[in-house]
Amino acid sequence: MRPTARVLQSLDRQVVRAKSTAFIGLGRMGSEMAFNLFSKKFAESPEARFVVCDALPTSATVFRQNFLAQFPGAHIDVVHTPEEAVHSSQTVVTMLPSSPQVKTVYSEANGVIPALQSLGVTESARSLFIDSTTLDVGIARSVAADVIRTGAQMVDAPVSGGVTGAKAGTLSFLVGGTDDDFDLSQPILTYMGKRIIHCGPSGAGLGAKICNNLVLGVQQIVVAEAMLLGQKLGLDPVVLAGVINSSTGGCWASSVNNPVPYSLPDKSPPCERNYDGGFATALMLKDMLLATDIAISTKSPLPMGESARNFYTETLKHQPDLAQKDFSSVYKHLEQIGREE
């Protein structure tokens, strides 16, 4: 018996999906991550196919143009909905702003879950989803459970390393999911990062990321306070940064992301580019809110975390232009407070 046209069409789709990787969310982080993922996969396998999707279609179009300019032989397409991305790709990576966008992309009409349901259990079982968004742990677990119910695999894999790490391909991925799903995702994540850490079951990667950024958000404020105080005491910022970085106060917020221009002679932190190109203050505030919200639900006291959250909130209230600047720009708000007092 000859196969029907429908069977042949289904087989063709299976072949294409198996070769294709989709990336949804091409913001500052996502665009750099997708570029590393696609370029390294293309170098290994020129017949690989790639799909991009973004809420701003022009972002996806520009990404495709830039990618083809460097890799003219690549197969890369733009789609307009997550549903199309799922129908065309067996592996899908998402990097979105926060919880509302994840719910939209995965759960709503033209989203991931309806697409998986339309594919059927057999084809869904071949599908892997990696969400690198930093979002509410409860929502992440709920979305993952819905994806897994279709037969597909999913991990949460938020990142540490910022835009610089995304561009360099040196991110750390903090992964939550089953052992099997971690093993499936690890080769994909290795294209974009250096450290791939299995933190535990679904949601554990996000829990680790939220705790890490809680520390970072508090540290960045106190480093800014110390650097400003030191200058008022007559200390050279280079000398002060050198003392902190070689002493017990040393931390990433001082040694890499110091908020005072030219205080790190061998580095070029965002403060030397008018605080452009780093981790946005608005995103740090989002992470501090995630931390304080989950602390309430788990009855875990966060006196420093709450103070830091309030200070980021105050910073953006009084200087909204810092929202998209690197979060070390809280130093600018401290300077302003100092001038007013």
* 3-state SS track over 38-63: HHHHHHHCCCCEEEEECCCHHHHHHH
State both tokens at 338.
């100092």
Tell me whether residue 299 is one of the annotated catalytic residues: no
Phi, psi of 284, rounded to the nearest 5 degrees: -65, -40
Residue whose token pair is 């990142």: 159
> H helices of the chain, where?
5-19, 28-44, 57-70, 82-88, 99-107, 112-119, 121-124, 137-149, 162-168, 179-190, 204-232, 237-245, 252-255, 281-298, 303-318, 330-340
> What kind and span of H or E run contains 78?
strand 75-78
Which residues, 6 or more positions from 33, have their beta carbon under 8 angstroms from its beta carbon?
23, 93, 95, 132, 159, 166, 171, 192
The one-letter code for the residue type at 236 is: D
| Strand 49-53 to 75-78 pairing | parallel
DSSP codes, 141-196: HHHHHHHHHTT-EEEE--EESHHHHHHHT-EEEEEES-HHHHHHHHHHHHTTEEEE
Neighbours of 190 (CB within 10 A): 15
CA dist 126 and 91 (Å) reads 9
Catalytic residue among 209, 286, 325, 332: 209
CA distance 185 to 133: 15
> Are the beta carbons of 38 and 74 closer than 8 angstroms?
yes
Residues with a catalytic annotation lie at 209
